[in-house]
Each structure stands twice: as C-alpha cells, then as structure tokens.
Chains A and B, each alone.
Chain A
C-alpha cells in the first residue's frame, strides 16, 4: 500500500494559464475525491468519482475546472484560465467502495500559487 500520490507537489503559474494536476489513488480504492483547502479553512469538497464515473460536483467547481478519471485509476484536475483566487492546496483522497461510512485517505496535496 503506497498511499495516495499527487503530482506535482507545488505549482506556480501566471494568471490566465492552464494547469493540470494528477492523483493516483490507493490501488484497490475505486472512489476518488478532490478537495480544495485555503488558508485557515478546512478542505472543501469539489468532486468525486466512482470508477470512471463522475458522480457529484460541488458548486465550487466552476466551468473553468474539469476533472477526469478515464480508466477508473488515476485522475486529473484541470484549471483553465487560472485566477489568483484559485491559489490553494488541492487535495485528492480515495476510498473503498463500501456503501456506508467509508474512510477517505488523503494524498499530500498540490499547492497552487497563481501570480
């Protein structure tokens, strides 16, 4: 069990550029989640996948954000036309496909800074 991994760990970009983050879940987990955390706040839910299907999206996920999980394994989160307000820690988590009271395990996060 290698845990959830995320790449890159840090990203600095200029306003208006596109960025893409990758998440590799724990191998036997078929649920994958994206959260965003800003300074002084707890993580906020963005979206989640069960296998390759995106089952829920938060209203926080504007149309500049898109997430994919094409083969039900790794996932990517893309932010188009980044804004300074997108600066945050982007966290990925995974869990087993239990129907009830599952525990989510988090990766180390990708810290994004938009200049």
Chain B
C-alpha cells in the first residue's frame, strides 16, 4: 500500500526554467510534509517542509504547495540550476508519529 506516490519517475527541465515535482498521498491523517533531495551514494538532504495548516511555504528558489482536498503537494524550483539535478523524495508523517513515509522519488535532470 503506497501511501505516498510520486507518479513521475523522471523529469527533464532546461536551466533557468521552472521545475515542478508532484506528490500525491492517500492517508488523510498525514499533516506534515517534507521534500528531500538525494545525490547518488549520499543520504537524503532536507529541502523544505509544510504543515497541513498552510497551503504554501517558500524558501529561496523552492516553494512547496499543499492542496489538502486533493491530497496533493508540489515542489516548485525557480529558476532551475544544473546543481539541482538529483532524485527528489516527498515524505509525510502524522505529526505526532515519528516515522516518515516516503514516495519512490522523481529524478530531475536540469539541462544546459
């Protein structure tokens, strides 16, 4: 039972354009959502998070949008840079619970 889904395994975007990575979830108890970036042979690096009481959170080039009614969130990266090329994971938990539930990841390739 995949409670967090990232349906696009890969995405290619030109440098300077916007990258939009999507994530859907099925567990309505999830109320905290995080995005991590992962380079090969490294651990996931925390990027940005959002609480279910908000619908948007912004940090520099990264913005996360949450649509609770659709159980959908997205990560926007503007402008995209070659160093953003990595696998991006969406994760969620139920606030007071401790374990994170991850999606399967989306590989972003930012081309010159």
Contacts and interface: CB of A to CB of B under 8 A. Distances in A.
Interface of A: 4, 6, 31, 33, 35, 40-45, 48, 55-56, 58, 91, 93, 99-109, 111
Nearest to A91: B43
A43 B44 contact: yes
A48 B34 contact: no
B43 A45 contact: no
Interface of B: 4, 31-32, 34, 36, 41-46, 49, 51, 89, 91, 95-96, 98-105
Contacts of B42: 108-109
A109 B43 contact: yes
Contacts, number: 63
A42 B104 contact: yes
B46 A43 contact: no
Contacts of B41: 108-109, 111
27 contacts: A4-B43, A31-B98, A33-B98, A33-B99, A35-B100, A41-B105, A42-B4, A42-B91, A43-B44, A43-B89, A43-B100, A45-B99, A45-B101, A48-B98, A48-B99, A58-B99, A91-B43, A91-B44, A99-B96, A100-B96, A101-B31, A101-B95, A103-B46, A105-B46, A106-B45, A108-B41, A108-B42
